Amino acid sequence: MSTPDARSVEYAVDCKNRHRIRLHLAVGVFALLMPAACTVAPQPKGQVVGVTLKDFHIDTGTPSVIGGDVVMQVHNAAPATHEFVVVRTNLPADGLPIGPDGLSVNEDWLDRVGELNEVAAGTVDTLPLQLAPGRYVFFCNLDGHYLGGMHAVLEVSAGG
């Protein structure tokens, strides 16, 4: 009277039914909310020059300032990260030397005064500078951005 229990239960776990959930939605919502982050941080002393970075353009709030302490207030209104480089030069804004990569300005050949490496989309960053009288060019030096039109001029005059 043996009733050997030969039942064997096998749970075949099928691992082929993995679902990958991709949250494309989150990225879109994030981009929409970013402009709300454009707030003004406490300022260092100096004349404030507002600059707006766009794809692919740089707007300056003023074409000229008097030499001395200047605070560059850089608002990246574009949907992408940009850079903000300041050089002192008499070259045309669209005539800066291009490096061997053919995509960016060769900053080593220029008198670089200051720079913000990365200005995230939708944020404001500040760059305090002491500007002697002269002519200055701003540009974004991420690959192709300068050639795409991201440059502007600021004239700095002697004080009265």
Can you say whether the dihedral through the CA atoms of 135, 127, 84, 74 is positive or negative? negative
Q: What are phi and psi of 90, to 5 degrees?
A: -100, 5
CA angle 20, 23, 29 (to 5 degrees): 175
Nearer to Cu ion, 124 or 140 (CB): 140
Q: CB under 5 A: which stretch of 34-42, 65-73, 85-93, 132-140 binds Cu ion?
A: 132-140
Is residue 142 close enough to count as binding Cu ion by CB under 5 A?
yes
Q: CB under 5 A: which stretch of 14-22, 65-73, 89-97, 141-149 binds Cu ion?
A: 141-149
Number of residues that bind Cu ion (CB under 5 A): 4
- Site pattern 48..87 for Cu ion (x: CB under 5 A): ----------------------------------x-----
Nearer to Cu ion, 56 or 136 (CB): 56
Nearer to Cu ion, 65 or 124 (CB): 124
Query: If you write DSSP's letter for every residue of 121-135 in order, what string do you get?
Result: TT-EEEEEEEE-SEE
Nearer to Cu ion, 85 or 156 (CB): 85
Cα(155)–Cα(134) distance, rounded to whole angstroms? 6
Give which of 110, 57, 60, 116 is closest to 85, Cα–Cα: 116
Can you say whether the dihedral through the CA atoms of 33, 119, 139, 101 is positive or negative? negative
Cα(140)–Cα(116) distance, rounded to whole angstroms? 9
Minimum distance from residue 94 beta carbon to Cu ion (Å)? 15
- Sole binder of Cu ion in the list 145, 152, 154, 156 (CB under 5 A): 145
Binding site for Cu ion (CB under 5 A): 82, 140, 142, 145
